[in-house]
Amino acid sequence: MKKNKVLDFSYRYGAIFVIIAVIVFFSIVNPNFLTYDNIADILRYISIVTLVAIGVTFSLIVDGFDLSVGSTVSLTTVVTASLMVWYQMPLVLVIVIPLLLGVVIGLVNAFLIVKIRIPDLLATLSMLYIIAGAHKTYTQGFSIYNNMPMPDGTTAKGVLSEAFLWIGQGRVLGIPVPVIIMLIAVAVVHIFLNYTRGGRLLYITGGNQEAARLSGISIYRVRTIAYVLSGVFAALAGIIFTARVGSGQVDAGSPLLMEAVAAAFVGFSVLGAGKPNVIGTFLGAFLIGILLNGLTMLNLPYYAFDIVKGAVLIFALSMTYLHMYRRKS
């Protein structure tokens, strides 16, 4: 009995205590860790990861899994940059077109999963490769930057405007704009999932699709909405990434996939939620951010970071599935 209480307490508050312990540890070994500038840097970094992870969270809520979000970030990143550098399009279109691209990718994923009945992992894995190939074909394998040389020997006339770069590099009252966008997104999604009919339908569909269908819920429509939202948030992350680095980087989204997945799964165990939730996803991304930032301050080699990401994912999955096993038994 006592053992069960300890396990329940660990499941409910374990992730929170891990975050606190990591912050305390890095604060002790490096006094510069807990400064405002460094915390702002961490939040700026995780802003993109969190947006991608929110997309993954939507797919998990309906009992699916979207592996194409990283490639979607890569595609929308280079498309966003090209719209300004190659075609000199106005800011509104530079933002709207990549978001619509995210909608299209979400619809294609939903069509393959909902209509063709391909399993989520296989469908989105296939899309991952297709989108990755598409964005490299579109750019011919080159990153896109201001006044870049073109294949025909000319120079691109467009540049990323200051107004666009402000989205990724600007500040409002000392707070980085990407952080503000992230916090607004987390708040809006939390309200949507917990206090609206649409959010309840997503959870009901993911909990038991057959029961949802018998209740008159269009599970096909609900699952389609989830994958469209996943594509939109990945596209938004791609836009902000472009504005942050000031160029369209090939394969920019590849390393974000594992971090986003880890963040979403850590969210399962935050405060004992036992289900995908956006607050938990944000805290999971924050945990990954402080770990990578702290290890960078300790001058660990960058190639060791993947070990940390994998360990965080194992921790998240262990906490989630051990609890699920205990509940079933």
Residue-wise pLDDT tens digits, 89-103: 999 999 999 999 999
pLDDT of residue 213: 86
pLDDT of residue 319: 66
pLDDT of residue 169: 94
| Confidence category of residue 240, pLDDT binned at 50, 70, 90 | very high
Residue-wise pLDDT tens digits, 141-155: 889 999 898 877 788
Give the residue, 228 or 259, on which the prediction is more confident: 228
pLDDT of residue 266: 82
Q: What's the pTM value of the predicted model, to 2 decimals?
A: 0.92
| Confidence category of residue 316, pLDDT binned at 50, 70, 90 | low
pLDDT of residue 190: 95
Residue-wise pLDDT tens digits, 241-253: 999 999 999 989 9
What domains can you pick out in the chain, each with its CATH number?
2-328 (1.10.3470)
Give the residue, 209 or 230, on which the prediction is more confident: 230
pLDDT of residue 327: 56
Average pLDDT estimate for 58-67: 94
Residue-wise pLDDT tens digits, 156-184: 888 999 999 999 999 999 899 999 999 99
Average pLDDT estimate for 23-49: 91
What is the 3-class SS of the chain, one letter each residue?
A: CHHHHHHHHHHHHHHHHHHHHHHHHHHHHCCCCCCHHHHHHHHHHHHHHHHHHHHHHHHHHCCCCCCCHHHHHHHHHHHHHHHHHCCCCCHHHHHHHHHHHHHHHHHHHHHHHHHCCCCHHHHHHHHHHHHHHHHHHHHCCCCECCCCECCCCCECCCCCCHHHHHHHHCEECCEEHHHHHHHHHHHHHHHHHHHCHHHHHHHHHHHCHHHHHHCCCCHHHHHHHHHHHHHHHHHHHHHHHHHHHCCECCCCCHHHHHHHHHHHHHHHHHHHCCCCCHHHHHHHHHHHHHHHHHHHHCCCCHHHHHHHHHHHHHHHHHHHHHHHHHHHC
| Confidence category of residue 303, pLDDT binned at 50, 70, 90 | confident
